[in-house]
Amino acid sequence: MTKHITSEVTYYVIFAALIALTLLTVALSFVELGGGMHLIVGLVIATTKAVLVALFFMHLLYSNKLSWAMFLSGLFWLGILLAFTLADYLSRDVMSY
Amino acid sequence: MSVKETYLWHHFDDLEQQHEATSLGWWTFLATEVLIFGGLLTGYTVFRAHYPLDFAVASRHLNIVIAAVNTVVLLASSLTMALSVRSAQTGQRRQLLRCMILTAVLGTMFLVLKAVEYTEDYHENLVPWMAFRDSEWTSLGADPGHVKMFLMFYYILTGLHAVHLLIGIAVLAVMTELARRNWFSADYYTPIEAWGLYWHFVDIVWIFLLPLLYLVSTHAH
């Protein structure tokens, strides 16, 4: 049976990176960045953290192509949901409610 | 029968195929979970895009300290969950039990802090259907209806996340008891690995809820 065992050190390093990114995103939220930068910065850091969790904690890095296909199709469907909904709502002038 | 054969369901050729089928099944389930939270987040995005100022004013009243501490607690639980799977892979029983119990304790700690936060929200009149004063928001230049909209998204998103975590802790507790009874081994640890996938997914949901609900406008005071 093929199984990949990640070293304990790798898990601790990823954990340290996740904590550092959490402190960073909280700290940056108190800084005046202007415009819609806070949302972008918050989402970029969150996505980075999510990718680290998926690749290392969820072993996606060592998983077969089928698991990758399911992972990516989940994101693809979410993309369709967001893109088509927003294309509708954001192209209208005012909401009636 | 050899040890390996006892773990193998009759409809699979070998343990590797069984393991990969389980993994694929869990990733499929998680893809549907993405869409459960994704639907709510899409609704949130639409309303935030239309009422950015009201959402910003409302978000500022949430407790960022508890949210940040809870993020660290949940990330730590993901670390111990990953170490649980590793201990199972290497057949270290004592460490497996220790890591699984620690994961459940950290998950419970998150829920306790969340309960403290909800109580505080109630005392600060942030609960639309129980404790809410329109005048407080109009004096801040915000529309009370739109503030209620933000708060409802806050309760439904964090509430659904908390329910997921509650299920996560309950199943983990059962698995810990099974591990104590030597149910798993270095040859067979698929259930622990599968539950690890679920646990990490719940962690990822919270990773996105932190900036979307709490860090909207902390800079503006």
Q: How far apart are CA B210 and CA B117, in angstroms?
A: 14
Tell me which of A3, A7, A19, A57 to substitute to probe the interface with B (most B C-beta atoms closer than 10 Å). Answer: A57
Tell me which of B95, B210, B221 to substitute to probe the interface with A (most A C-beta atoms closer than 10 Å). Answer: B210
Q: How far apart are CA A79 and CA A77, in angstroms?
A: 5
A50 in contact with B, Cβ within 8 Å = yes
B12-60 pLDDT, tens per residue?
Answer: 888 888 888 999 999 999 999 999 999 999 999 999 999 999 999 999 9
The answer to whether A47 and B190 are in contact (CB under 8 A) is no
Contact (CB<8Å) A71/B19 = no
Give the residue, B5 or B64, on which the prediction is more confident. Answer: B64
Contact (CB<8Å) B68/A26 = yes
Give the distance from residue A62's alpha carbon to the nearest chain B alpha carbon, in angstroms: 12
What value of ipTM does the predicted structure carry? 0.93
Rg (alpha carbons) of chain B, rounded to whole number? 21
Which chain B residue's Cα is nearest to A34? B219
Helix (H, G, I), strand (E, B) or coil at B132: strand
Percentage of chain B modeled with pLDDT above 70: 97
Which chain A residue's Cα is nearest to B88? A5
Mean pLDDT of chain B: 93
Helices (H) and strands (E) in chain B, counts: 8, 2
For residue B1, the model assigns a pLDDT of 46
For residue A95, the model assigns a pLDDT of 63
Give the distance from residue A96's alpha carbon to the nearest chain B alpha carbon, in angstroms: 11
Tell me which of B26, B51, B95, B200 to substitute to probe the interface with A (most A C-beta atoms closer than 10 Å). Answer: B200
Confidence of residue B8 (pLDDT cuts 50, 70, 90): confident
Question: Please, which residues 51-80 of chain A have a Cβ atom closer than 8 Å to chain B?
Answer: 53-54, 56-59, 63-64, 66-67, 70-71, 73-75, 77-78
Give the distance from residue A91's alpha carbon to the nearest chain B alpha carbon, in angstroms: 11
The pLDDT profile of chain A, 97 residues, written as one tens digit per residue, is: 357 899 999 999 999 999 999 999 999 999 988 778 899 999 999 999 999 999 999 999 988 899 999 999 999 999 999 999 999 888 876 665 5
For residue A1, the model assigns a pLDDT of 39
Contacts for A21 with CB less than 8 Å, ≥ 6 apart = A45, A48, A49
B18 in contact with A, Cβ within 8 Å = no
Contact (CB<8Å) A1/B31 = no
Contacts for B103 with CB less than 8 Å, ≥ 6 apart = B77, B80, B81, B84, B172, B199
Nearest to B200 by CA among B192, B210, B212: B192
Contact (CB<8Å) A86/B49 = yes
> What is the DSSP track for B170-184?
HHHHHHHHHHHTT--
| Residues on chain A touching B28 (C-beta within 8 angstroms) | 70
The answer to whether B31 and A73 are in contact (CB under 8 A) is yes
B115-169 pLDDT, tens per residue?
Answer: 999 999 999 999 998 999 999 999 999 999 999 999 999 999 999 999 999 999 9
Whole-model pTM: value is 0.94
Contact (CB<8Å) B219/A49 = no
For residue B6, the model assigns a pLDDT of 72
Torsion of CA B113, B95, A11, B36, to 10 degrees: -50
Q: How far apart are CA B184 and CA B175, in angstroms?
A: 9
Helix (H, G, I), strand (E, B) or coil at B126: strand
Joined together, the tokens standing for residue B157 give 């998103």
Helix (H, G, I), strand (E, B) or coil at B22: helix
